[in-house]
């Protein structure tokens, strides 16, 4: 599908904490004129947090203005981490709460600018009581102007792409803090593909036999829908049997992961199941595929079309990258297009690629509601797109006939789907489903961060784990879920033995597990500290080459360990260890828990 908006993967990872920290209250206040030492100490600590956060934020602004976007993102991250790694209970301070929440929103608006909600940097400085001078305010205004210019540049580029059908690679990223890492979509090459004379050859015995098969398949309607037989379909089959063989082989293999799900959803939506092979041409079945113009996901939706068919795109999720939701949206869009063109699936596919406007204009110019009659009036990519999909469908349905019988599709990607409370941290969800945060992110590529949206949301978890997750969440109020870890009990264990290996008192364990006379299964282990949930700060993005010699060391925690204690024992930075493992520096670690320590 033609696309519009560049996508990046940097600060959105920090929005994991936006899940309604709702940090309400204030610095401890005295009822008389005398300020106690405890109050004075708390006020000074709060002031240091605001000052340090402001320093990092200003450094981020300067880096952004200098077009050092990676440095800008790193400094903005640090400005937020000052709050998250503080020892102050943020839930009891209204001033820190207001600054923190507005800081999160402002950095997001700097990274992803919109005309409707520009970054309000001056207002942030007032909320956080930063002592800015005239130069600081000028810097803030310059950054706001730059974000507006970036938004305008993207909008103009998008308009040019949609109107001309061009395929010019953007010279540089104008949105986001990190370099754009594109996982190529097959559409990128398809837009400029030109068939060779050998590929256009149809008078070989093999090509003639295969072309007759196309006519037979259309005549007996064995593919679930009809289309007009055209020589270009066989020419694309020729292409895939030679120059494009590796692309077809990869697609057929990866189709095993998603095709059963796609067939089911297309069938439920009343769309021919074989139309689901469109996903192979769109993305080669890569959920994080990103085209040159940033179409995203298995089905390469642009934001506007995705929104029309129910896909959310917020600071928490981008459902264009989801499995089930995006697949259902794709099926509904195709059905809408087929109805628009009186059941003509070739025109529906063409419109899926280039938009209804381009197809409608082509039909008006040709005077016939027929793809091949309108062919010459369509964008080049769309001319290639439709016969390409039809060739893919034919090969996928008869791989032996076309020389792909040796490809064995990958095993289906299995998962359960569970509705979890709003603002659920993936750390507790991973513990409940006996997996890792990283694997949950793999199963839920639509998540922008390690926390679910503020409303109840359906999450994919490993197969067979849905009941366990539901059982865990039923036992504790949603407000306490994110302030706990889980410990798996062994047969015969008591609260005392769990206390010994977690470092949490028996009284606190019993209070965290009401109605449980003795530990059984997974038990809640309350966390102490500032009650900010355990999180990880980096969003999975396209893999980059690992630096030579970089690795991690895995160590096991002992009873009573926290991240800080374990890091000190291994001469490591506690904050870095916490971030690397998705924890807090004061998170209590169960005896034997494996912790990864990044090597410097």
**Residue ranges of domains in the chain:** 11-153, 186-397, 416-526, 552-598
Using CA atoms, how far apart are residues 109 and 383, in angstroms rounded to an integer?
39
pLDDT value of position 228: 92
Under the banding of pLDDT at 50, 70 and 90, the label for residue 3 is very low
- Give the tens place of pLDDT for each residue, 316-374: 888 999 999 999 999 999 999 999 999 999 999 999 998 899 999 999 999 999 999 99
Provide mean pLDDT across the span 91-96. Answer: 74
Quickly state the pLDDT bin for 242 (edges 50, 70, 90): very high
Per-residue pLDDT, averaged over 462-487, amounts to 82
Fold of 186-397: Lysozyme (1.10.530)
Is 227 strand, coil or helix?
Answer: coil
Q: Coil, strand, or helix at residue 534?
A: coil
Q: 582: helix, coil or strand?
A: coil
Q: In this model, does residue 68 exceed pLDDT 70?
A: yes
Residues in the chain: 600
Give the separation between CA 467 and CA 226, rounded to whole angstroms. 44
Flag whether pLDDT at 121 surpasses 70.
yes
Provide the CATH number for the domain formed by 552-598 in this structure. Answer: 3.10.350
pLDDT score of 157: 43
Residue 520 has pLDDT above 50, yes or no: yes
* Cβ contact 409:253 at 8 Å: yes
Q: Residue 431 pLDDT more than 70?
A: yes
- % of the chain at pLDDT higher than 90: 39
- Say whether 282 is catalytic: yes
| pLDDT at residue number 20 | 36
Give me Rg for the CA atoms of the chain.
Answer: 28
Would you state the pLDDT for residue 83? 74
Q: Structure pTM? A: 0.63
Please, what is the average pLDDT of the chain? 80
Residue 394 clears pLDDT 80, i.e. is over it = yes
Task: Give the per-residue pLDDT at 116.
Answer: 67
Most confident of 246-255, 508-517, 522-531, 577-586: 246-255
Outline where 412-562 has alpha helix (H). Answer: 426-432, 437-443, 466-474, 478-481, 495-502, 506-512
Q: Which of 282, 319, 325, 381 is catalytic?
A: 282
Q: Is the pLDDT of residue 75 over 60?
A: yes
486, containing H or E segment: strand 484-488
Tens digits of per-residue pLDDT, 532-585?
A: 333 332 333 333 333 333 467 888 888 888 888 888 899 888 877 876 765 666
């Amino acid at each position: 599908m033609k696309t519009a908006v560049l996508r990046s993967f940097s600060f959105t990872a920090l929005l994991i904490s936006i899940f309604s920290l709702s940090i309400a209250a204030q610095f401890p206040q005295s009822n008389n004129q005398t300020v106690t030492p405890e109050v004075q100490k708390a006020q000074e600590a709060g002031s240091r947090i605001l000052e340090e956060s402001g320093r990092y934020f200003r450094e981020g602004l300067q880096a952004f203005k200098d077009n050092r976007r990676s440095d800008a993102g790193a400094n903005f991250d640090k400005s937020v981490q000052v709050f998250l790694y503080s020892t102050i209970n943020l839930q009891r301070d209204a001033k820190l709460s207001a600054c923190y929440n507005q800081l999160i929103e402002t950095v997001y608006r700097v990274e992803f600018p919109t005309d409707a909600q520009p970054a309000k940097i001056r207002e942030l400085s007032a909320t956080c009581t930063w002592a800015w001078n005239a130069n600081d305010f000028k810097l803030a205004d310059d950054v706001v102007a730059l974000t507006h210019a970036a938004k305008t540049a993207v909008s103009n580029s998008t308009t040019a792409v949609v109107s001309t059908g061009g395929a010019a690679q953007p010279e540089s990223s104008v949105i986001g803090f990190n370099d754009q890492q594109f996982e190529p979509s097959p559409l990128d090459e398809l837009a400029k593909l030109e068939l060779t004379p050998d590929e256009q050859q149809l008078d070989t015995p093999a090509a003639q036999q295969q072309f007759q098969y196309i006519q037979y398949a259309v005549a007996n309607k064995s593919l679930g829908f009809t289309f007009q037989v055209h020589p270009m379909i066989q020419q694309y089959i020729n292409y895939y049997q030679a120059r494009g063989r590796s692309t077809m082989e990869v697609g057929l293999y990866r189709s095993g992961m998603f095709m059963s799900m796609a067939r089911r959803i297309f069938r439920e939506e009343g769309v021919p199941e074989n139309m689901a092979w469109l996903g192979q041409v769109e993305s080669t079945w890569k959920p994080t595929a990103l085209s040159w113009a940033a179409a995203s996901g298995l089905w390469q939706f642009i934001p506007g079309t995705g929104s029309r068919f129910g896909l959310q795109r917020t600071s928490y999720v981008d459902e264009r990258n989801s499995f089930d939701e995006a697949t259902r949206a794709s099926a509904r869009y195709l059905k809408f297009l087929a109805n628009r063109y009186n059941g003509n699936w070739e025109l529906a596919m063409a419109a899926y690629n280039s938009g209804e406007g381009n197809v409608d204009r082509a039909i008006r110019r040709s005077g016939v509601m027929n793809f091949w009659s309108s062919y010459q009036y369509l964008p080049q990519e769309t001319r290639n797109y439709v016969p390409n999909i039809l060739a893919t469908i034919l090969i996928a349905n008869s791989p032996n006939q076309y020389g792909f019988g040796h490809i064995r599709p990958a095993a289906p990607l299995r998962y359960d789907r569970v509705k979890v409370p709003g603002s659920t941290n993936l750390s507790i969800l991973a513990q409940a489903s006996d997996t890792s945060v990283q694997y949950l992110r793999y199963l839920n590529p639509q998540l922008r961060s390690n926390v679910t949206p503020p409303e109840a949301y359906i999450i994919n978890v490993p197969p067979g784990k849905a009941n366990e997750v539901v059982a865990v969440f039923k036992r504790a109020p949603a407000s306490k879920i994110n302030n706990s870890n889980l410990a798996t009990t062994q047969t015969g264990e008591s609260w005392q033995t769990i206390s010994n290996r977690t470092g949490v008192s028996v009284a606190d364990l019993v209070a965290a597990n009401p109605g449980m006379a003795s530990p059984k299964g997974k038990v809640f282990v309350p966390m102490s500290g500032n009650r900010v949930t355990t999180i990880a700060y980096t969003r999975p993005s396209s893999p980059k080459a690992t630096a030579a010699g970089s690795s991690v060391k895995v160590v096991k925690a002992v009873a009573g360990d926290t991240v800080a204690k374990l890091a000190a024992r291994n001469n490591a930075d506690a904050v870095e260890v916490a971030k690397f493992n998705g924890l807090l520096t004061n998170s209590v670690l169960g005896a034997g828990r494996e912790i990864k320590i990044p090597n410097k």
